[in-house]
C-alpha cells in the first residue's frame, strides 16, 4: 500500500535508548510498506535495547551510529545524512536526547545530525512519567516546539516498570506514521505553479505489422523523475513510450509508440518551465513500414533493412530560440567514454544538464543493470563541470534531480 505522501520519500529515523526502541522496528516496516526509504541512526544506548542487525535488516540500509567512524563520514557524513532526509523522526526520544536537542549539543552522531538538519523533525518521546512531567523536560519540550519541532505523544498508560502508569509511553507506530504524514503534507511545494514535461521509456519503431525496433528501457527512471517532480508540486506531463509499469500518481500521461509521436506530443505540451528527457528514443526507424509481414528472402541470404534517422526531440527543444523551457535536462545512455560522449551531447543538444549513465553490462550495477533495473549511478554534466553521484535507487536519483530542478527554477 504505497502512499503518495511517502513514496520515494526519505525518512531519517533516530532511535534513542529506551525500551520503546522495539516499536521502532515496526515503525520502519510501516514506513517502508508505504513507499518511504528509512535511513536509521542509532544512539549507543539504543543498541542496548535493539540490535543494529535487526534495524538494518528491516530498513534495508546501513545503520549509522558513530560520528567518528571514518568510513561512514567518508561515504555519507553527518551533514549529508541530515541534508538528504525529507524528514527526521526521533523515536523513541529519551529525556536525555530531548535535553541535548533543546540545548544544541552535538556530541554523537544522532545529535550532530539533528543540529545540522534543515528537514522537519518529529519527536516521539518515551520515558518514565516522572521524567516526562519534570519541569526540565517540559522546558525542553517548549524550547523544541518554539524551534519548530513537532511532537507525537507521549501516550498515557502502563509503563514497562512494574506498577508505574502515567504519560510517557511512546506513541504507537501508526500514530507516528500519521504524524509524519501530516508533517510531510505540510511541507512547502517549491515547484507549485510550474509546468514540466518529462519523457520516459523506449520507443517502438515498426518494421512491419508484427515487428519493431526497440530497446531495453523500462521507463523506471523517467517515471520516477515525473513522480518526484509532482511531489514537489509541479504540474507534470509525462510522455511515455510503451512500458509495462503503471502511470505515476498525480501526473498526466500521454502514451505514445514511436519517436515521431513522442516529438509531436512534447511539442504540443510546450511552453513549459522545464523539460526532462529520460526516454530512450530510437535514433532510427525503418525507412518504410511494410504493410504486410515481411517474408524470408527464399535462400538469397539475409535481407537488409534500410533505416532513416528519427527526429531528435531533445535537440529540437534545447536548441529553440523561442519558447525554450527555462531548464532543459537530457540524459545520455553510454556504453563507453561516458564523460566524452555525454559532454558532446550537452553542447549538441542545447541542454543545461546531461544526466549521463553507463548502460554497459560491466557498469557494476547489479540485477538487470541500469536499463531495466532499479538502480543507477550517474554523472551530472553541465557547463560548470561534472558531478559524480554514488550508486543509488532510481527513486533517489529522481528525488535529487527534482530538488535540482526546484533550485534552478527558483533562481
> Is residue 102 close enough to count as binding ligand PMT by CB under 6 A?
no
277 binds ligand PMT (CB under 6 A): yes
258 binds ligand PMT (CB under 6 A): no
Q: Is the preceding omega at residue 92 within 30 degrees of 0, hence cis? A: yes
Residue 97's contacts (CB-CB under 8 Å, 6 or more residues apart) are 14, 16, 43, 90, 110, 111
Q: How far is the CB of 374 from ligand PMT (least distance, A)?
A: 8
| Element spanning 166, H or E | strand 165-169
> Using CA atoms, how far apart are residues 381 and 225, in angstroms rounded to an integer?
17
Residue of 314, 380, 381, 405 interacting with ligand PMT (CB under 6 A) = 314
> Residues 326 to 365: which contact ligand PMT by CB under 6 A?
330-333, 345, 349, 357, 359
- The answer to the question of residue 34 lying near ligand PMT (CB under 6 A) is no
| Minimum CB distance to ligand PMT smaller for 31 or for 239 | 239
Give the three-class secondary structure for 215. coil
Q: In this complex, which beta carbon is closest to ligand PMT, that of residue 39 or of residue 220?
A: 220
| Cell numbers placing 37 | 526509504
Report d(CA 240, CA 59) in Å as an integer. 32
Q: Which is nearer to ligand PMT, 193 or 311 (CB)?
A: 311
Q: How far is the CB of 407 from ligand PMT (least distance, A)?
A: 20
Give the interface size with ligand PMT as a residue count (CB under 6 A): 30
Question: How long a stretch of residues is the chain?
Answer: 411
Could you say whether residue 372 binds ligand PMT (CB under 6 A)?
yes
Phi, psi of 275 (to 5 degrees): -140, 135
Output the smallest distance, CB 32 to ligand PMT, in A. Answer: 21
Cβ proximity to ligand PMT, 100 vs 349, nearer residue: 349
Nearest to 16 by CA among 88, 119, 117: 88
- When asked if residue 371 is in the footprint of ligand PMT (CB under 6 A), the reply is yes
Catalytic residue among 140, 215, 310, 376: 215
H-type alpha helices, 60-146: 70-75, 77-83, 95-102, 109-116, 129-133, 135-146
Residue among 110 and 236 whose Cβ is closer to ligand PMT: 236
215 has catalytic annotation: yes
Q: Does position 137 bind ligand PMT by CB under 6 A? A: no
**From CA 8, how far away is CA 357, in angstroms rounded?**
20
Residue 364: Cβ-neighbour burial (10 angstroms; 0-12, 13-18, 19+): exposed
Find out whether 389 and 377 touch, Cβ atoms under 8 Å: yes
**Quick check: 405 binds ligand PMT (CB under 6 A)?**
no
3-class DSSP assignment, residue 278: coil
**Site residues (CB under 6 A) for ligand PMT, limited to 222-251:** 222
Q: Report whether 365 contacts 330 (CB < 8 A).
A: no
218 binds ligand PMT (CB under 6 A): yes
The residue within the footprint of ligand PMT, chosen from 82, 232, 236, 281 (CB under 6 A), is 281
CB atoms within 10 A of CB 139: 13
Residue 312 lies near ligand PMT (rule: CB under 6 A): yes
Nearer to ligand PMT, 58 or 197 (CB): 197
Question: Active-site residues: which are they?
Answer: 215
Which residues sit at the interface with ligand PMT, rule CB under 6 A? 199, 217-222, 259, 277-281, 283, 310, 312-314, 330-333, 345, 349, 357, 359, 370-372, 394
Amino acid at each position: 500500500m504505497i502512499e503518495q505522501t511517502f513514496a520515494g520519500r526519505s525518512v531519517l529515523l533516530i532511535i534513542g535508548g529506551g525500551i520503546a526502541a522495539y516499536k521502532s522496528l515496526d515503525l520502519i516496516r510501516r514506513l517502508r510498506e508505504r513507499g518511504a526509504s528509512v535511513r536509521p541512526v542509532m544512539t549507543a544506548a539504543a543498541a542496548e535495547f535493539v540490535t543494529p542487525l535487526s534495524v538494518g535488516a528491516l530498513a534495508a540500509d546501513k545503520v549509522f551510529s558513530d560520528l567518528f567512524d571514518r568510513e561512514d563520514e567518508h561515504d555519507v557524513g553527518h551533514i549529508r545524512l541530515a541534508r538528504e532526509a525529507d524528514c527526521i523522526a526521533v523515536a523513541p526520544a529519551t529525556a536525555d536526547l530531548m535535553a541535548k536537542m533543546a540545548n544544541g549539543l552535538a556530541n554523537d552522531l544522532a545529535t550532530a545530525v539533528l543540529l545540522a538538519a534543515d528537514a522537519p523533525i518529529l519527536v516521539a518521546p518515551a520515558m518514565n512519567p516522572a521524567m516526562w512531567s519534570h519541569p526540565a523536560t517540559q522546558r525542553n519540550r517548549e524550547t523544541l516546539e518554539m524551534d519548530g519541532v513537532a511532537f507525537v505523544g507521549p501516550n498515557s498508560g502502563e509503563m514497562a516498570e512494574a506498577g508505574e502508569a502515567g504519560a510517557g509511553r511512546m506513541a504507537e507506530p501508526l500514530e507516528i506514521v500519521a504524524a509524519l504524514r501530516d508533517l510531510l503534507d505540510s511541507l512547502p511545494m517549491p515547484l507549485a505553479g510550474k509546468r514540466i514535461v518529462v519523457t520516459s521509456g523506449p520507443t517502438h519503431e515498426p518494421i512491419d505489422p508484427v515487428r519493431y525496433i526497440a530497446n531495453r528501457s523500462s521507463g523506471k527512471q523517467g517515471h520516477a523523475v515525473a513522480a518526484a517532480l509532482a511531489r514537489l508540486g509541479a504540474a507534470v506531463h509525462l510522455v511515455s513510450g510503451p512500458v509495462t509499469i503503471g502511470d505515476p500518481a498525480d501526473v498526466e500521461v500521454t502514451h505514445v509508440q514511436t519517436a515521431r509521436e513522442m516529438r509531436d506530443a512534447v511539442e504540443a505540451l510546450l511552453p513549459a518551465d522545464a523539460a526532462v528527457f529520460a526516454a530512450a528514443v530510437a535514433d532510427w526507424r525503418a525507412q518504410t513500414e511494410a504493410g504486410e509481414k515481411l517474408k524470408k528472402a527464399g535462400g538469397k541470404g539475409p535481407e537488409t533493412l534500410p533505416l532513416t534517422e528519427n527526429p531528435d526531440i531533445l535537440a529540437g527543444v534545447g536548441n529553440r530560440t523561442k519558447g525554450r523551457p527555462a531548464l532543459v535536462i537530457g540524459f545520455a545512455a553510454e556504453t563507453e567514454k561516458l564523460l566524452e560522449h555525454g559532454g558532446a551531447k550537452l553542447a549538441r543538444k542545447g541542454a543545461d544538464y546531461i544526466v549521463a549513465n553507463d548502460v554497459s553490462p560491466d557498469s557494476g550495477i547489479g540485477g538487470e543493470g541500469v536499463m531495466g533495473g532499479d538502480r543507477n549511478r550517474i554523472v551530472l554534466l553541465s557547463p560548470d563541470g561534472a558531478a559524480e553521484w554514488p550508486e543509488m535507487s532510481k527513486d533517489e536519483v529522481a528525488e535529487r534531480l527534482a530538488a535540482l530542478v526546484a533550485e534552478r527554477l527558483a533562481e
